């Protein structure tokens, strides 16, 4: 199998896994969300008290980005793959004899 074909298959497998596995991610708040909500009260569904989470705003894409559609996972995976590809390209260029 050629290197290009292997890379294409690898990228496709990574993308399918990232988007597919993201559907099983927990909806429970993680440590960062908990820390941002520390000091808040949630009376009547609204945040009260003093905490950083009171200043949160709706995401530009709304709930679509986080509704299990895999959009965030796909975008994050694509970004990591592009950064890895760029890093490898830079290392190859530096390592090549002049």
On whether residue 28 sits in a domain, the answer given is no
Query: Do 59 and 74 have their domain in common?
Result: no
Do residues 94 and 72 both lie within one domain?
yes
Count of domains in the chain? Answer: 2
When pLDDT is cut at 50, 70 and 90, the band that residue 24 belongs to is confident
Q: Is residue 37, in this structure, part of any structural domain at all?
A: yes
Question: Is the residue at 27 inside a domain?
Answer: no
| Other residues' Cβ atoms within 10 Å of the Cβ of residue 73 | 19
Q: Spell out the residues 6+ positions from residue 74 whose beta carbon is closer than 8 angstroms to its own.
A: 15, 18, 19
What is the pTM for the complete model shown? 0.50
**Residue 51 falls inside a structural domain:** yes
Domain that holds residue 49: 33-63
* Residue that has been written with the tokens 């945040």 in this structure: 47
Q: What are the tens digits of pLDDT across the range 54-84?
A: 777 776 766 666 565 677 777 888 888 889 8
How many whole angstroms separate alpha carbon 38 and alpha carbon 89?
A: 44
For residues 13 and 7, give the distance between their C-alpha atoms in angstroms, rounded to a whole number: 10
What letter would DSSP give residue 41? E
């Amino acid at each position: 199998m050629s290197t290009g074909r292997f890379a294409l298959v690898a990228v496709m497998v990574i993308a399918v896994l990232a988007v597919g596995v993201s559907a099983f991610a927990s909806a429970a708040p993680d440590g960062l969300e908990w820390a941002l909500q520390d000091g808040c009260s949630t009376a009547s569904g609204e945040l009260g008290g003093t905490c950083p989470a009171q200043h949160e705003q709706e995401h530009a894409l709304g709930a679509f980005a986080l509704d299990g559609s895999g959009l965030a996972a796909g975008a994050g995976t694509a970004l990591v793959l592009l950064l890895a590809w760029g890093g490898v390209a830079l290392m190859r260029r530096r390592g090549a004899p002049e």
